Amino acid sequence: MHTLPQLSYAYNALEPFIDARTMELHHSKHHQTYVDKLNAALAVHPELASRPLDDLLAHLVDVPEDIRTAVRNHGGGHSNHSFFWTVIGPQHSAGTPDEELTQALIRDFGSFENFQKEFNNKALGLFGSGWTWLVRSGETLSIITTLNQDTPITGGQLPLVALDVWEHAYYLLYQNKRADYVTAFWNVIQWSEVSARFARTNA
């Protein structure tokens, strides 16, 4: 059985950038629903119970057809949100990318500012519901978007940064002003976590 991961910070810890009410609903309701619906789908195929979720998502074509869409949507939702909660956190611990990640960002985007600009543009340009990602594939870092709860893992890419741009992630505080939410996001990215993740992909 998959379970809702606990956050390592309080619901109000990301204020004023992401409000407590949004965090509570997003984690305890939206994310919980993905977990519940994933478990309901997997209950039909107990032989999959021991497979790590990201392994199922990386090999969706091997998932039985009758639950493939449910695993893609709700398994993706569980994986994406579990990852997202670790990328964001209190502003006081946000920090900056370490030297190794900084050099990789400069190599692939020209500068940190260009990386930021491209990330913002992709997040703002995404039509409908989905995610914006910094991913690694091979030696290259790039920014991609996925629709709905699709994950870069399915395409063999390693996520380093995720931004949820579903309206449920920002509507209470920002209403239709997605740009303000995307701008606020930069204050809460936990760069030590992202840098550590990048280092692990080098191993």
33 versus 192: smaller Cβ distance to Mn ion: 33
Q: Which is nearer to Mn ion, 6 or 50 (CB)?
A: 6
Count of residues making up the chain: 203
Amino acid at 1: M
Question: Could you tell me which residues are beta bridge partners of residue 189?
Answer: 88
Alpha-carbon distance of 200 to 100, in angstroms, equals 12
CB of 180 to Mn ion, least distance (A): 17
Residues in the interface with Mn ion (CB under 5 A) total 3
Orientation angle between helical segments 191-202 and 76-87, nearest 10 degrees: 120
At 88, which amino acid appears?
I
CB of 189 vs Mn ion, minimal distance in Å: 16
SS3 132: strand
**Region 153-182 residues binding Mn ion, contact defined as CB under 5 A:** 164, 166, 169
Site map 45..84 versus Mn ion, x via CB under 5 A = ----------------------------------------
Residue 193 binding Mn ion, by CB under 5 A: no
Distance of alpha carbon 132 from alpha carbon 135, whole angstroms: 10
CB of 42 to Mn ion, least distance (A): 21
Give the nearest distance from C-beta 195 to Mn ion in angstroms: 24
Kindly tell me which of 137 and 148 has the beta carbon lying closer to Mn ion: 148
Q: Which one-letter DSSP state was computed for residue 93?
A: G
Smallest distance from the beta carbon of 56 to Mn ion, in angstroms? Answer: 20
> What distance in Å separates the CA atoms of residue 169 and residue 167, rounded to the nearest whole number?
5
Q: Which residues bind Mn ion (CB under 5 A)?
A: 164, 166, 169
